A and B are shown apart, each in its own frame.
Chain A
Amino acid sequence: GEDVEQSLFLSVREGDSSVINCTYTDSSSTYLYWYKQEPGAGLQLLTYIFSNMDMKQDQRLTVLLNKKDKHLSLRIADTQTGDSAIYFCAETPVSGGYNKLIFGAGTRLAVHP
């Protein structure tokens, strides 16, 4: 079946690194995504990783993928108060060749001074 799980809350101090974890179940998923949602807003695509990659880095963001364990993580370096938001992990199972996203429940990141 299709299921994505994330821890619900993470609190970090400004300037520290944040690591948000996600596990997924569908091994057919070829791409995995991280989206950010600020209060009252829509979803902003942060980054994605192809399933044949182990790591992807984009400025302050590092995505690690352990395909064997079906584990995905997002590391935010030098976390700032503007990073406070809900972060969603999503997978795209191969079904009909289109992009049906399966989301986790989201991790609420709180950054404090």
Chain B
Amino acid sequence: NAGVMQNPRHLVRRRGQEARLRCSPMKGHSHVYWYRQLPEEGLKFMVYLQKENIIDESGMPKERFSAEFPKEGPSILRIQQVVRGDSAAYFCASSPRTGVGTDTQYFGPGTRLTVL
């Protein structure tokens, strides 16, 4: 069973460009979480999605950021008109169902975004 896949692993964008980050959850997992890790900091929750639904986007900036998890295909985190402050590692995690505890999240390797 392959783990959570993220691509690309490294992404370089110039200010003003768009960044598109992809996450393929583990097989059988229908819940996806996105987190952002700024340099020398812990991970901060951004958004939680189920198939075709955004459940909680309270951690995601209201402008320029959007996320989706379509019925088919990976979850996408999209950042429009990137700025230098968007440079960070973006991690995706998946879980098989909602709830806490043993329904743990499995993390992907992350996408490291650098904005020049």
Contact = CB atoms under 8 A, between A and B. Distances in A.
Contacts, number: 75
Interface string A2-44: 0010000000000000000000000000110101000001111
Contacts of B95: 99
Interface residues of A, number: 26
Nearest to B103: A99
Interface string A45-73: 10010100000000000000000000000
Interface of A: 4, 30-31, 33, 35, 41-45, 48, 50, 88, 92, 94, 96-106
18 contacts: A33-B104, A41-B110, A42-B91, A42-B108, A42-B109, A43-B43, A92-B101, A97-B99, A98-B31, A99-B95, A99-B104, A100-B33, A100-B48, A101-B33, A101-B35, A101-B105, A105-B40, A105-B41
Interface of B: 4, 31, 33, 35, 40-45, 48, 55-56, 91, 93, 95, 98-110
